């Protein structure tokens, strides 16, 4: 990484030039719904995605409440099946896959590149519109009788059961297009819109992560598209490709499905890792340790992600050779993931760590993702997986990575870029309290699931033997605590919009380009020439008491007077 400044050095106060910001640049609903501004599209994505998260969360709480007792508690077994299916489908396809890339990525990617917009703003808007249509279809499937297949739509059950399977799989197809469009946009933008002087290895790591994510989105999603199309053809026409009654092969469906859906978990986690890479460095006031290792590991994860799908079928009757190979490859994915974790820890080592809310979430991420990643090794090894397969151990494992990982990083990112997005500071104290309540609630909810899974409690069951009741009760209580924590986190942000102090240009002392734009940025992002530096060099800025934020150190006029 080179350190020197390359582009024009001009005054980079970034003070409000009284021409309004992107939020006030146009008025009325139409100016939002048909905007081509990546920032507004990002904000709309954020709102819609958080609404989907609320919906999926309500379904989760209903599922947990039903499981409070070994028998029926609040709903019938059929309703329960629909609930966990909707929880899974909404959380996966509406919340966590688009989450960080489409909401935060859209907002932050062009800013980090110092660009005026993404390379294809129309495609970007189309992606949002398609996302909304797909989400409405998913929600409509609830009214059309619901779906009880689980979010994985395994055949032959999904091709024979009643319910709105066609509608919900079609919505997955539509949402896939939205994901592909975002991916294409990001790849093109990173390739073609980098400013002069920003080579690949001068990019912030968040961009590496978004780039690797986009590659997976573009290469894996089409396979999901054809898979759900075949399910639809199977149900509507009886095409017979997955239907054993017609000589078809249901395990082929599993191969197709996981060929997308395993890489999809890296669509979820890679951008989260990108957020954490930024935050750990900024809040430790230390250059990121092992920049190239983190950058390459993002690409390595993207490549490996395509080679491990078979670990979902260890007990589905794969050949033994395939099973052994998939197991070995799955173990090898943990290497680039661990590379990242060690680099974050090394960055923090002897750093001047500041426990501001984004950093608190980042630490929560590292802890929970560590547990999630390590328990993945139990599932990757063949002998233990036979016992743990389809048990609550698996449920706990992927919630530790997906919720403890991605959702926490999403929150970290929202808090981190909130001042930039809306120009308001939030209460750090209440932000931290929310993070701690979430941390406690999360562990109570899901650690008990590790225990009961290891003891043999299968996932997705409506009734269970009484000896598991204690764990289920703990897990359900934990989920309520978790929900309270999330409401505190949301309340802090809403409160900041109403009563928050005005945010400075650079509240955290970030060295990436978005911190040179006004808070919130103007319509075309930057109003003055950019000062391009090493994105992890924090020596060129100092805290300014009057500004309540960081300002660049001017080497000629030191000390600076305002």
Partner 1 sequence: MSTATGNAHEGRHELAHYFDSTRQQFESHKLAMWLFLCTEILMFGGLFCAYAIYRANHPEIFLYAHTLLDKNLGAINTIVLLFSSFTMAWAVRAAMLGQRRLLVGLLVVTLLCGFGFMGIKGIEYSHKWKHGFLWGEQFDYTEAVAYASGKGHGDDHAAETGHEGAHADDEAAIHTEVPAATAGDEDAAAVMAELDQAAAVTMDHGHDAERIPRNLHIFFGIYFVMTGLHGIHVLAGMGMLTWLIVRASRGDFGVRNYTAVDLGGLYWHIVDLIWIFLFPLLYLIH
What number of residues does the chain have? 562
User: Of 262, 286, 340, 416, which one interacts with Cu ion (CB under 5 A)?
Assistant: 262
Beta bridge partners of residue 469, listed in sequence order: none
Task: Kindly state the number of chain residues that form the binding site for Cu ion, as judged by CB under 5 A.
Answer: 1
Q: Kindly state whether residue 207 participates in binding partner 1, applying the rule CB under 8 A.
A: no
User: Of 149, 227, 254, 401, which one interacts with partner 1 (CB under 8 A)?
Assistant: 227
User: Of 129, 460, 495, 524, which one interacts with partner 1 (CB under 8 A)?
Assistant: 524
3-state class (DSSP) for residue 527: coil
Segment contacting partner 1 by CB under 8 A, of 17-25, 225-233, 333-341, 532-540:
225-233
Q: Kindly state whether residue 192 participates in binding partner 1, applying the rule CB under 8 A.
A: yes
Quickly count helices (H) and strands (E) in the chain: 17, 2
Q: Kindly state whether residue 523 participates in binding Cu ion, applying the rule CB under 5 A.
A: no
Determine the straight-line distance between the first and last CA of the chain, rounded to whole angstroms: 32
Q: Is the Cα torsion angle 114, 209, 100, 141 positive or negative in sign? A: positive
Task: Kindly state the number of chain residues that form the binding site for partner 1, as judged by CB under 8 A.
Answer: 45
Of the candidates 352, 347, 383, 350, which has an alpha carbon nearest to the alpha carbon of residue 366?
Answer: 347
Query: Rounded to an integer, what distance in angstroms lies between the CA atom of residue 124 and that of residue 544?
Result: 37
Q: How many CB atoms lie within 10 A of CB 412?
A: 27
SS (HEC) of 30-87:
HHHHCCCCHHHHHHHHHHHHHHHHHHHHHHHHHHHHHCCCCCCCCCCHHHHHHHHHHH
Q: Kindly state whether residue 223 participates in binding partner 1, applying the rule CB under 8 A.
A: yes
In the bound state with partner 1, the residue whose beta carbon lies nearer, of 39 and 64, is 39
In the bound state with Cu ion, the residue whose beta carbon lies nearer, of 262 and 523, is 262
User: Of 119, 363, 402, 493, which one interacts with partner 1 (CB under 8 A)?
Assistant: 119
Nearest distance, CB of residue 435 and partner 1, angstroms:
36
In the bound state with Cu ion, the residue whose beta carbon lies nearer, of 397 and 424, is 397
Nearest distance, CB of residue 265 and Cu ion, angstroms:
6
Pinpoint the alpha helices (H) of 381-427.
382-388, 392-401, 408-422
Choose the one of partner 1, Cu ion, none that binds residue 59, judging by a C-beta under 5 to 8 angstroms depending on kind.
none
Query: Rounded to an integer, what distance in angstroms lies between the CA atom of residue 42 and that of residue 468?
Result: 43
3-state class (DSSP) for residue 535: coil
Residue list 121-140, contact with partner 1 (CB under 8 A): 121, 123
Q: Kindly state whether residue 345 participates in binding partner 1, applying the rule CB under 8 A.
A: no
Of the candidates 131, 113, 349, which has an alpha carbon nearest to the alpha carbon of residue 221?
Answer: 131
Choose the one of partner 1, Cu ion, none that binds residue 524, judging by a C-beta under 5 to 8 angstroms depending on kind.
partner 1
Choose the one of partner 1, Cu ion, none that binds residue 184, judging by a C-beta under 5 to 8 angstroms depending on kind.
partner 1
Q: Is the Cα torsion angle 40, 42, 46, 48 positive or negative in sign? A: positive
Choose the one of Cu ion, partner 1, none that binds residue 262, judging by a C-beta under 5 to 8 angstroms depending on kind.
Cu ion
Q: Kindly state whether residue 353 participates in binding partner 1, applying the rule CB under 8 A.
A: no
Q: Kindly state whether residue 4 participates in binding partner 1, applying the rule CB under 8 A.
A: no
In the bound state with partner 1, the residue whose beta carbon lies nearer, of 229 and 484, is 229
Q: For 132, list phi and psi in degrees, rounded to 5.
A: -65, -45
CB burial of residue 192 (10 Å; 0-12, 13-18, 19+): exposed
Q: Kindly state whether residue 351 participates in binding partner 1, applying the rule CB under 8 A.
A: no
User: Of 50, 120, 139, 307, which one interacts with partner 1 (CB under 8 A)?
Assistant: 120
Segment contacting Cu ion by CB under 5 A, of 261-269, 290-298, 392-400, 405-413:
261-269
Judged by the rule CB under 8 A, the positions of this chain that interact with partner 1 are 115-121, 123, 180, 183-185, 187-189, 191-193, 218-223, 225-227, 229-230, 233-234, 237-241, 243, 246-249, 252, 256, 259, 524
Judged by the rule CB under 5 A, the positions of this chain that interact with Cu ion are 262
């Amino acid at each position: 990484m080179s350190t020197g400044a390359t582009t024009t050095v001009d005054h980079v106060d970034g003070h409000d030039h009284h021409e309004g910001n992107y939020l006030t640049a146009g008025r009325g609903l139409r100016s939002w719904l048909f905007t081509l501004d990546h920032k507004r599209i990002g904000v709309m994505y954020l709102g819609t995605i958080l609404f989907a998260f609320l919906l999926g969360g309500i379904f989760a709480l209903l599922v947990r409440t039903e499981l409070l007792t070994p028998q029926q508690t609040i709903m019938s077994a059929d309703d329960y099946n629909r609930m966990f299916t909707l929880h899974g489908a909404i959380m996966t396809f509406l919340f966590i896959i688009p989450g960080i890339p489409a909401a935060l990525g859209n907002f932050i990617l062009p800013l980090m590149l110092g660009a005026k917009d993404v390379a294809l703003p129309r495609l970007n808007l189309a992606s949002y519109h398609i996302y909304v249509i797909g989400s409405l279809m998913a929600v409509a499937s609830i009214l059309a009788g619901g779906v009880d297949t689980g979010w994985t739509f395994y055949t032959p059950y999904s091709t024979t059961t009643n319910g709105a399977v066609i509608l919900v799989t079609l919505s997955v197809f539509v949402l896939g297009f939205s994901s592909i469009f975002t991916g294409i946009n990001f790849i093109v933008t990173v390739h073609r819109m980098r400013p002069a002087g920003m080579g690949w290895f001068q990019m912030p790591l968040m961009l590496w992560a978004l780039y690797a994510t986009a590659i997976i989105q573009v290469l894996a999603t089409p396979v999901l598209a054809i898979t759900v199309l075949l399910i639809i053809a199977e149900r509507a026409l009886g095409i017979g490709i997955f239907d054993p009654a017609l000589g078809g092969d249901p395990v082929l469906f599993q191969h197709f499905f996981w060929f997308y859906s395993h890489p999809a978990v890296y669509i979820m986690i890679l951008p989260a890792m990108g957020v954490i890479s930024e935050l750990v460095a900024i809040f430790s006031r230390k250059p990121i340790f092992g920049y190239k290792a983190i950058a390459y590991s993002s690409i390595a994860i993207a490549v490996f992600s395509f080679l491990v799908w078979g670990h979902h079928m260890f007990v589905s009757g794969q050949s033994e050779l395939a099973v052994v190979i998939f197991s070995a490859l799955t173990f090898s994915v943990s290497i680039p993931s661990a590379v990242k974790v060690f680099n974050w820890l090394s960055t923090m080592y002897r750093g001047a760590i500041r426990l501001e809310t984004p950093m608190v979430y980042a630490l929560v991420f590292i802890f929970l993702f560590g547990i999630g990643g390590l328990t993945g090794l139990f599932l990757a090894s063949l002998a233990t997986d036979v016992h743990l397969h389809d048990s609550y151990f698996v449920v706990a494992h992927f919630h530790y990575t997906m919720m403890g990982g991605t959702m926490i990083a999403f929150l970290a990112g929202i808090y981190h870029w909130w001042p930039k997005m809306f120009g308001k500071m939030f209460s750090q104290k209440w932000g931290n309290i929310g993070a701690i309540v979430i941390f406690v609630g999360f562990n109570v909810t899901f650690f008990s699931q590790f225990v009961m899974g290891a003891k043999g409690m299968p996932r997705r069951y409506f009734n269970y033997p009484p000896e598991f009741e204690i764990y289920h009760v703990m897990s359900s209580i934990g989920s309520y605590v978790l929900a309270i924590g999330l409401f505190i986190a949301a309340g802090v942000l809403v409160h900041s919009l109403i009563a928050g102090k005005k945010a400075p240009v650079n509240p955290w002392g970030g060295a990436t380009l978005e911190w040179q734009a006004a808070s919130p940025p103007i319509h075309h992002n930057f109003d003055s020439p950019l000062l391009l530096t090493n994105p992890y060099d924090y020596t060129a800025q100092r805290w300014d008491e009057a500004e309540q934020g960081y300002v660049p150190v001017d080497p000629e006029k030191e000390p600076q007077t305002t």
